[in-house]
Amino acid sequence: MNVLVIPEDFRKDQYILKPLIQKMFAEIGKPNANVRVCLDPLMGGISEATKWERIKKVLDLYPMVNVFLLIVDRDGKETRRQSLDGLEMSAAGHLSTARKFLAEHAWQEIEVWASAGQEKQLWPKEWNWADIRQHRDPKEAYFEPLANSRNLQNEPGQGRTTLGKEAAANYARVRTLCQEDIQQLEDRLKVALSGMSLFAHVPKMQLRHQLPRQPQIRVTVHWASRFPREFIGSGSEVKRSTIPSWGDNPLTSGEPRNLQTASGIYRYIRGCPSCFRLFDFHEFGTRPPSRPPALW
């Protein structure tokens, strides 16, 4: 499963978001999820990150991503949730049922999640969690002093690298303290992923798409664009058993029962437009199609 996290500004947020989201997926039973932070394009702020036109470009730019997570700061604005709900509705109408888009806002900034991962005895005695949670600018008021107290201001992310990893290691505490956002996102992810299938939107194939069984064909599998593999043979020779399992590889997921031969693979994929980006089919001896651009 490929997961793309879209922050409003990845330059610092990535150091907190990647370890935390990886841990979140592990907690919901997806420890092998391939979590990446969107580095291209750079949203550059909350106003750009909440524009549907910008989000739509990201969804189209990464066709091999299964789950998109937009994570921004709440900044004390109660209407922020309404804006994110609108983006989710637009994305639901744009994406297939096999791809999900969820948006969440951190109360009040993402740095609060990293602060929540620290044990209370490491905080100054005068700090109160309710005050941290409701503060308009907790990054300046709490996170930066915490990072400076541990001499982390000169590391990548100015303390976010270390504190982000520690928050992921102490995820249970973060989830308990951040129920309005972390817990909510985890619960919504469970619902979104329950019963989710890579081919959930594909109808039963028509036999008219079946390739001739005699000519040899070449099946090139571009899974995550990093593991190209080729299997050559006639329609009756390319068996499903010859295709190795790579995590969520659809060819070994057990869902489609007509993937026993190369012809069967072709019939199945023909009805799935988005899957043409994963598989190339051409007669043996002909020039293969150009490889799709790398995802990461």
DSSP 2-29: EEEEEES-HHHHHHHHHHHHHHHHHHTT
Nearest in space to 249 (alpha carbons), one of 222, 218, 220: 222
Reported as a single tens digit per residue, the pLDDT across 56-95 is: 999 999 999 999 999 999 998 989 999 999 999 999 999 9
Higher pLDDT, 198 or 9: 9
- Whole-angstrom distance, CA of residue 25 vs CA of residue 246: 18
- What pLDDT is stored for residue 123 in this prediction? 83
Report the pLDDT value the prediction gives residue 225, as an integer from 0 to 100. 32
Query: Read out DSSP for 100-144?
Result: EEEEEEESS-THHHHHHTS-GGGS-TT--HHHHHH-S-HIIIIIH
Average pLDDT over residues 98-118: 95
Specify the length of the chain in residues. Answer: 296
pLDDT band at 97; cut points 50, 70, 90: confident
Structure confidence at residue 17 (pLDDT): 97
**What are the tens digits of pLDDT across the range 111-170?**
999 999 998 887 888 889 999 998 989 999 999 999 999 999 899 999 999 999 999 999
Q: Which residue has the tokens 């990886």?
A: 22
Distance CA 69, CA 296 (A): 16
Whether 51 shows a pLDDT value over 50: the answer reads yes
CA gap 33, 294 in Å, rounded:
18
pLDDT digits (tens, 9 = 90+) for 193-233: 986 654 444 333 333 333 334 334 444 444 333 333 333 33
Please tell me which residue, 249 or 152, carries the higher pLDDT value: 152
Cβ-proximal residues to 75 (8 Å cutoff; 6+ apart), any chain:
46, 108, 109, 136
Annotate 151-181 with b (16+ C-beta within 10 A) or e (fewer): ebeeeebbbbbbbbbbbbeebeebbebbeeb
pLDDT digit string, tens, across residues 159-182? 999 999 999 999 999 999 999 999
Residue 189 confidence (pLDDT): 95
Residue 283 in tokens: 């007669």
Helical (H) or strand (E) element with 70? strand 67-73
pLDDT by residue (tens digit) across 255-295? 333 333 344 444 334 344 333 333 443 333 344 444 433 43
What's the confidence (pLDDT) of residue 122?
79
Residue 8 has pLDDT above 60, yes or no: yes
Q: Which two tokens stand for residue 139?
A: 């990054």
